Structure formats: structure tokens, C-alpha cells
Structure 1
Amino acid sequence: MKASIIKIAIVTLIIQSMQAQETKKETVSTEPKYTIENCVNHFELEKATKTKVGYQYWFGDKNFTHENTLKMSIVEPGKSTHAPHHHPEEEFFYILEGTAQFFLDGKTVVAGPNTSFYCPPNAEHGISNVGKTDLKYLVIKKDLK
């Protein structure tokens, strides 16, 4: 009788172990496979998302990367993507073209191309286009999990 119980216990453990390995394989296979073809991303306007104030183009989103996102925003003159806001994630903005007004905790600065703007976690921040041409900038953000 004891031998039968031990055999059943061993078989049960083997089955559970095999099921756990299958579950692990399924979990691993759902992660993106990184190749040179999907890790190099060329901007294509037709693949950009139209917004109320211009466009957004995700070079890397949280579904592809492990923690970070990289987005390019194009904002029409005199507009902003949204009002100043805050969130727990830190962000970096990098101006490619145009004239931006950065807002951080009640203060503003106007800047042009090749300027970065760091927004610490939970700080009230914003960016708007105060120029006469489109504002084009990159946003790098770490996704909290």
C-alpha cells in the first residue's frame, strides 16, 4: 500500500514539474524576439499616430522594451500635447526641431534644438510649442512595473 502511495506521489510530482516547465516555455515564448530587423526602427510618417495637435511615433514602447519607451512627438505651432501634469515615472525630452517652452513646478524656460529637459518623478511638468514651425521632440520614459 505504501509503495502505491509513493508511486502516485512521484507521478504527481513529475506531472506537476512537466506542467510548470510547459508554463515557463509559454511565458518565455510570449516575450518579443529581438532581431536586427525589429530593433532598428526608421521613422515613417504613415506609421505615426495622428493626435489633436500633431503626431506621435513610438520607436520603442513598453510592449517591446523591458522598461523604457522612446517616442517622437510632432506638435503644431501654438499647441501642446496636454496641460502640465505629473506621474510617478521620470521622463527625458530632447528637442530635435522647433522652439519649446518647458514647464517644471511653476517655472518655464524656452529652448530650441539640441536641448534636453529632465522631469523627475512626480514633478508637475509640460512642454508646448511656442515657435512658428512644428516642434519635434523625443520622449524617453521608464515604465514602472
Structure 2
Amino acid sequence: MITITRFTMLALIGMMTQQHVQGQKATTAKEQPVYTLENCVNEFNKAKAKETRSGYQYWFADKDLTHENTLKMSIVAPGRSTHPPHHHPEEELFYILEGNATFYLDGETVEVGPHTSLYCPPNAEHGISNAGSGDLKYLVIKKDLR
């Protein structure tokens, strides 16, 4: 099971708040769920993870729960990436939990390790791949523009 420190969670909440204040506004409204303690607390459960071609992913908060931001954990096998470099109008944040990643941003790359955040501005071409010999585990925070 993955343990996230209190500092890490506060940093992630701060990043999400900054995204909310400075980010793009949603273009359409949707009916929000009734929030309860049960649907506002989501403890990792591998049985509920979705398998991908490069590993698996787990949604802690998806667009069906949140107003604008989503939070998912991606686990990527060695030598793999979730998808090729791409771009989209939403800004995106990655936070490396475990492993080593190669981060691509607008034609440049850097290798980073755990406890590193990576910011992708709107419309910037970006990608992330596993640069290590073990699994790469990282969080993805993204605004849902609906």
C-alpha cells in the first residue's frame, strides 16, 4: 500500500487550490453528487484499479465526483509510458511517488525521482515514461474542463 505523507497531501491540496483559483473555468455545468463521508474518502484498493497497456491506474477523484479537478495514480512498468507525448488545453500536474521518470516538455527531457512535482502548462506538449528498473508510481492532477 502507498503511504503519502501529510506534507505531500498538503502540497497536493495547495496545487489543486491554485489550479482552481488561477485555472480555466468549466464551460458547462453538470449535476453534482450528494457528498458524504463515504464518497469523499477514497483509500487505495488495487482490486478497483483499471489495467492499462503500461500498468494500471487508480482514480482517487474523477470528474463524476469533483467540481473541476481530478486525481489519479498511474503505475507504469519499466521501459513503458502511458501514451506518447501529447497536448491538451488543460494544465496538468504530476507528482512522483516511487521510481524514476523521464519527463518530456516541449522538446526537452529530464529524469527525476520520487517526491518531485512536474507541471504541464496548457497546450504544452508533454509526456512521462518509466526510466527505472521498477514500477513508476505517480499522481496526476488535472482540471476537467467538461
TM-score, with normalisation over the residues of structure 1? 0.79
**Which of the pair has more CA radius of gyration?**
1
Distance 1:46 1:143 in 2: 25
Question: 2: CA distance between counterparts of 1:46 and 1:63?
Answer: 20
> Shift in Å at residue 35 of structure 1?
1.0
SS in 1 for 2:39: helix
Distance 2:132 2:87 in 1: 24
Unpaired stretches in structure 1, ≥5 consecutive residues: 1-27
Structure 1 residue 102: deviation in Å?
0.3
1:83 Cα deviation after fit: 0.3
Contact (CA 8 Å) 2:76, 2:137: kept in 1 or not? yes
The answer on whether the counterparts of 2:32 and 2:67 sit within 8 Å (CA) in structure 1 is: no
Shift of 1:144: 1.1
**Counterpart-to-counterpart distance in 1, 2:73 and 2:79:** 18
Cα distance in structure 2, aligned partners of 1:48 and 1:126: 22
Which structure dedicates a bigger proportion of its chain to helix? 1
1:96-115 correspondence to structure 2 within 5 Å: 96-115=97-116
Deviations 1:74-126 (A, max 9, x none): 00000000000000000000000000000000000100000000000000000
| Pairing 1:1-145 to 2, within 5 Å after superposition | 31-145=32-146
**SS in structure 1 of the partner of residue 38 of structure 2:** helix
Residue aligning to 2:18: none
Letter in 1 for 2:122: P
Whole-angstrom distance in 2 between the partners of 1:117 and 1:130: 15
C-alpha distance in 1, partners of 2:32/2:116?
Answer: 34
Equivalent residue pairs, number: 118
CA distance in 2, matches of 1:104, 1:52: 22
Q: Percent identity?
A: 73
Shift of 1:42: 0.4
The residue type paired with residue 117 of structure 1 is L
Compute the TM-score of the two structures, normalised by the length of structure 2: 0.78
Offset, 1:131:
0.1
Q: Matches of 1:99 and 1:31 in 2, distance apart?
A: 37
In structure 2, the gaps of 5 or more residues are 1-29
Q: Report runs of 4+ in structure 1 exceeding 4 Å deviation.
A: none
